[in-house]
Every structure is written in structure tokens, then in C-alpha cells.
A and B are shown apart, each in its own frame.
Chain A
Amino acid sequence: MGVGYLVRRTFGVMKENGPTHVLSIGTIAIAFFLFAFFLLLPLNFTSFVEAWGKKVQIILYLKDGVKQERIVQITGELQREAGIREARYISQRQAMESFQQDLAGYGGVLEGVEEEIFPASFEITLEERFRTPERIRALAARLDNIKEVDEVQYGGMWLERFSLFLYTLRWGAWILGGILVVIIVSVTANTVRLTLYNKKGEIEILKLIGATDTFVRLPFYLEGGLQGLLGAGGAVLVLFVLFHFFTLKVSPYVNLYFGQLRLHFLPPNLIAWILGIGVISGLLGGLFSLRKPSRI
């Protein structure tokens, strides 16, 4: 059987049952749109989290009265600690000066304030590979064990919760994907079943004249696969158009609040996955609709 004839037959089958197929492809497209959207969301939030992660510092506030020799020792300990790029000691005086600088425009607000109320601290910047919420948390816990440390602060505590949220979202998307496969299989199976009903006469004749099972069945499998492909492709296309609109019109306003937010569309391998899931679940739908020999 020629490929050209097979494709013509498949499209012929779909054309004859046009409105049903449009409805079916539309349903598949809506389902895939949701799936792709839930994949796109964590993808962009991840880059957002990474951008914020780069700014994360750990600050160790020291107890009062730590001697100079001990500070030198702690500096050495910190520099030997894996993941720490730089550990900068901020004395009480430096802390006060910095604070004064920050409030320079407010005149004599700090008049009479003494340096003793500002705790000495270490500002720690991290190596790039250590800027993940899990590693920051682990490091902060270790540093908290230093006897002279009064308090450990790291600005990215919310990042941890946000990362958990993204993790849930990502898994949620794949669970949604699983549900999606069931929906697509069922939608395509029902559409193919309708086509089979419409083509009953032709199938009967094909069987009687000695057409092989493959010849009879192949257009129906392809019909299912094509529905899945068109539905998934349509969903990616619509999402791309909306994404483009968002990056053009909305993201400048978002950047005002979040800095230079770089948005990414789904990478090619993920698009290929989406299309692949579409085709395979569509083919499965075709397969299910033809599994009873009496139907064909």
C-alpha cells in the first residue's frame, strides 16, 4: 500500500466525519494546553528562583564580646568550609557606619546611637553550585553550630517554600499528563469508533475482496494518531502565541517589580515530548477502538 494512498485514505476518512473530528481535536487541544501551561509555569519560575538564588547571602550575627583572635580563627574556619566563596567580617563599627550611610538622608536620626547596639557579623557569599535552597539550608545549619554565632539569617528562606511549590507544580503537571492520556485515548477511541460505524460498508467490502487486516486498520490507527498530533500541535501553537503576547505586553510591567525577568518558552525537547504523547495516546485510542475483531 502506497504511503500517498494511505495518507489520502486517512484524510478522506477524517474529512467525511469532519465536525466530529474538529470537536475531538479541539477537546484534545484544550487538555494539552493545560498540560503545556503547567509545564511552562515551573520552567519560568525556576529561572526566576535561580536569579534570586544568586543574590542569596548567609549572615552570621555574632554574640557580643568575641575576641579578635577568635574572629581570625572563625574567618579561617569559614574559608575552609565547602561552598563558601567569601566570608567578610563586619565589625560593630562598620555595621553602624553602613547603617548611617543607608540613612544618610534622614539627618540626625542616629545621633547618640552607639556602635554597641549593632552586632558584629560575617557576610558570606556562596559558590554558584551551593546556591540551592537545600544546600543553603544545610550550610546555615552547620554554621549555626559555631559557639560564637548568635543567629544565622539567609534571605532565601522563602525560596525554599517556593521551590517546594514548584516541585509540586512540576509533578502536578506530569500527573495531569497521565490523566490527559486517559482523556485523549478515550476521546480518540470514541471518534474512531464513530468513523468505523460510518465506514462499515467500505470495511465489509474491503474484507470480502481480500484486503489484509493491516490495510483495513491502518487508516483508523493513523486517524487516532493524527488527531492526537493535531490536538497537541494546536495547543502548543496557541500557548506560543499567548506566551509571545505576554512577553511583549505584560512582562515589562512584571520586570518593574522583579527585575530583569527572562521568560522562556518550552524547549524543543519538551515540545517533542508533548507532540509524542499526543501521537502515542491518539494511536492508543485507535488501537482500543479496533481491539474487538467484530468491529472490523
Chain B
Amino acid sequence: MIQFFQVYKTYQANIPALINISFKIEQGDFVFVTGPSGAGKTTLLKLIIRAERPDQGEILVNKRNVTRLKNSQIPALRREVGFVFQDFKLLNNKTVYDNIALVLRALGHKKREIPKRIRQVLRVVGLDERVLKQPPLKLSGGEQQRVAIARALINTPSIILADEPTGNLDPELTVEIMDLLGKVNNLGTTVVVATHDTSLVDKYQKRTIPLYKGKVAG
């Protein structure tokens, strides 16, 4: 569950990024956050994982008040949230296996448990095990985004935040990735997709939070 109460966020030089934002996303929902570039979509996602702090208002994520978290409590919040980026943010000097395993290693999972978990998540995102030994750059854009989703899912988070996840993909791969996010949502994970692509929103007919110049439009 994600809940915003009258949230304001202003960057330096008094540029307002979000103005009086309030909404509630229930557990298991699939929501689009839409709007043109600069509307505040990425800021909104960053506030959810406390990569940014609001100037005013309260944010609840899985009953945690994110605005009042101590720095030492932030890792625990982020372990409940998986993040997918437009540019994948994969480590190109590591193999696909190491990219995904990094999460489990960082979170202290046992070494022998890691290969099994990776094989499981690979099946969920529809990738062949042969990609594991390859560096991400040897894969297609769609495959790279699947690896990024696998990395976001490996710790079984209750929320997936995706920032323009299909922004770098052609229409065919876009459908594949959106279908995959739909599948993840069907497994009970809350999915929040930030996108400027209105055709995507029209096609999938999900709940939308439209942003325009930092405000919820309409």
C-alpha cells in the first residue's frame, strides 16, 4: 500500500516538482503515473523509496511513514520495493548472473540459495538460463529490461516501481515488457509504472494518476 497526503516537493531555485499530491494505491494494484516530461513522475517514484524527501506532507508505504524514516531505516524500506529504470541500469562489467545475484549478496542471502533463486526468477521473466553467463550488453534491449525486472523481483518485493520501463524499447518489446509487468502484478505485487506514453495507458486500461506541472491533473 502506498499513500500520499498533501505532498509538496520543490527543487533548488524554487522549481516546484510536486504540488499538493494525495492518492492511495492498494496492495496488488496496477497503476500508471502519467504525464509529459517534467510533470514530476520520477520525483514521485523517488519519494516512495526515500531517494528524495518531501518538503511537506506525509507518505506511507506498507504502513511505514517514509517521511519520518531515519537513514538507518531506509534500506529496510527499499527491500520491499523493486525499481526498474528506462535505461535498465545494469552493470555491464558483470554477467547477468552477477547483476541479479548482487541483490541477494547485498541482502545477506546464503550463497547456496542464490543459483536456485536466480533460476526461479529467470523463469518468471521468461529468459533462458544461457544468458546468465553473458554481459548485459550482449543482450537485446528487451532482454536487458527483463534482466532488470528479474533483479527487481529477486527479493520478492511487494511493490515494483518502473520508471519509463519501455522508453527505450520498440512497440513489440514494449508489449512483452508490459505483459511481464502484468504477470508480476497477477502474482500479487503492486506495480506502479511511470510513463509519458499515452498509447500504453489507453491499451492497458489500468488506473491512472495523471500529473501535469507537478499537480494531479483533472
Report the minimal beta-carbon distance from A10 to chain B, rounded to whole angstroms.
14
Q: Quick check: B106 and A201 within 8 Å, CB to CB?
A: no
1/0 per residue, CB under 8 A from B, across A202-223: the answer is 1011111111110100000000
Contacts of B119 in A (CB 8 A): none
Residue of B nearest to A207 (CB): B78
Q: Is the CB of B105 within 8 A of A210?
A: no
Chain A: minimal CB distance from B21 (Å): 22
Q: B213 interface residue, CB < 8 Å from A?
A: no
Q: Interface residues of B toward A: which range?
A: 20 to 34
Known pairs A1-B108, A2-B111; A209 contacts B91 (CB<8 A): no
- Among A204, A210, A212, the residue within 8 A (CB) of B89 is A204
**Minimum CB distance partner of A211 in chain B:** B106
Choose one: B49, B76, B91, B108; the contact of A208 (CB below 8 Å).
B49
Residues of B within 8 A of A210 (CB): 74-80, 106-107, 155
For B78, the chain A residues whose CB sits under 8 A away are: 207-210
Q: Are A211 and B49 in contact (CB under 8 A)?
A: no
Residue of A nearest to B93 (CB): A16
Q: For B103, what are the chain A residues with a Cβ–Cβ distance below 8 Å?
A: 209
Could you tell me if A211 and B89 are in contact, using CB atoms closer than 8 angstroms? Answer: no
Interfacial residues, chain B to chain A (CB-CB below 8 A): 49, 51, 71-72, 74-80, 82-83, 89, 91, 93, 102-103, 105-108, 111, 151, 155
Sample of 22 A–B contacts (CB below 8 Å)? A1-B106, A5-B105, A201-B91, A202-B91, A202-B102, A204-B89, A205-B89, A205-B102, A208-B51, A208-B83, A209-B82, A209-B83, A209-B102, A209-B106, A209-B151, A210-B75, A210-B76, A210-B77, A210-B79, A211-B106, A212-B75, A215-B106
Q: Given known contacts A1-B106, A5-B105, what 5 new A-B pairs fall within 8 Å (CB)?
A: A205-B89, A206-B102, A209-B82, A209-B103, A212-B75
Q: Please report A residues at the B interface, Cβ cutoff 8 Å.
A: 1-2, 5, 16, 201-202, 204-213, 215
